[in-house]
Amino acid sequence: MAGRSVRAEQVRATRELIRTTAERLFAERGIYAVSNRRISEAAGQGNTAVVGYHFGTKADLVRAIARHHTERLEHVVIRQLAATGDSAELRDWVACLVRPTARYLAELGSPTWFARFCAQVMADPALHEILVAETLSAPVWRQILDGLHRCLPELPAEVRAERTTMTRQVIIQMCAERERALALGTATPRPSWSAAATGMVDAIVGVWTAPVTDGS
C-alpha cells in the first residue's frame, strides 16, 4: 500500500512538472515551436516519450493546462458573481468578465505564464477552440454574459457575438502584454493587476456601448 502511494505521488509530481514546464515554454516560444523532446529536457526527464505517456497528444496537453487554470479561476469568478448579484449596471457585468482573471494572475505571483499561454493558444486555429470550450463550459461565464446582455437588450444578436469576441481578445491580449512586461521587468501602463483590470473595464464598457453602424 505504501509503495503504491509513493508511486502515485511520483506520477502526480511528474505530471505537474511536465505541465508547468510546457506552459512556460508554450507561453514564451509558441505552441508548435516547442517539441515534446524540448519539454522533456527542460523538465529534466531523461525519457523523451514521457510527455506523450502522461498527456497524449499536444492538444491533450494544451487542454490539461487550460483545465488546470480554468477550474481554479472559476472559484474566483463565482465570488465576483456573488458580489454582483442582480445588478442592472453594465460596468458590474464587465467587471465580472475582467477582474477575476486579473485577480487570479495576481494571486499566482510573478512570473506567470498563463495569460501568454492563452494568447498563443487563441492565435492557433487548430487549438483555440480548446480554450474557448474549456472557458465557456463553466456555467458562471454564461451567467455573466446573460447579465451583460440584459443591460443592452437592443443590441442585435450578431453585434453581441462580435463584441463578445472583442471582449475576449482585449482581456487575453492585455493580460498577456502585462504578464510579459512583468516577466521582463519592463514598465507597465498600470501599477497593479487591479489597476490594469480597471483600465480594461473602462475600455470594454466603451466597446459594448459604442454605436452600431450599418455596414452595408
Predicted local distance difference test score (pLDDT) of residue 125: 86
Could you tell me the mean pLDDT of each successive run of 10 residues in the chain, 216 residues long?
Answer: 70 90 95 92 84 90 93 93 94 97 94 95 89 81 94 95 94 96 96 98 98 83
Predicted local distance difference test score (pLDDT) of residue 30: 93
Instruction: Judge residue 20's burial from the number of C-beta atoms within 10 Å of its C-beta, 0-12 exposed, 13-18 middle, 19 or more buried.
Output: middle
The rounded distance, in Å, linking the Cα atoms of 36 and 54 is 11
Instruction: Judge residue 183's burial from the number of C-beta atoms within 10 Å of its C-beta, 0-12 exposed, 13-18 middle, 19 or more buried.
Output: middle
Do residues 46 and 32 touch, judged by C-beta distance below 8 A?
Answer: no
Q: Which residues, at least 6 apart from 112, have a Cβ–Cβ distance to it below 8 Å?
A: 105, 179, 182, 183
Q: Count other Cβ atoms within 10 Å, centred on residue 30.
A: 14
pTM equals 0.91
Q: Which residues, at least 6 apart from 90, have a Cβ–Cβ distance to it below 8 Å?
A: 148, 151, 152, 205, 208, 209
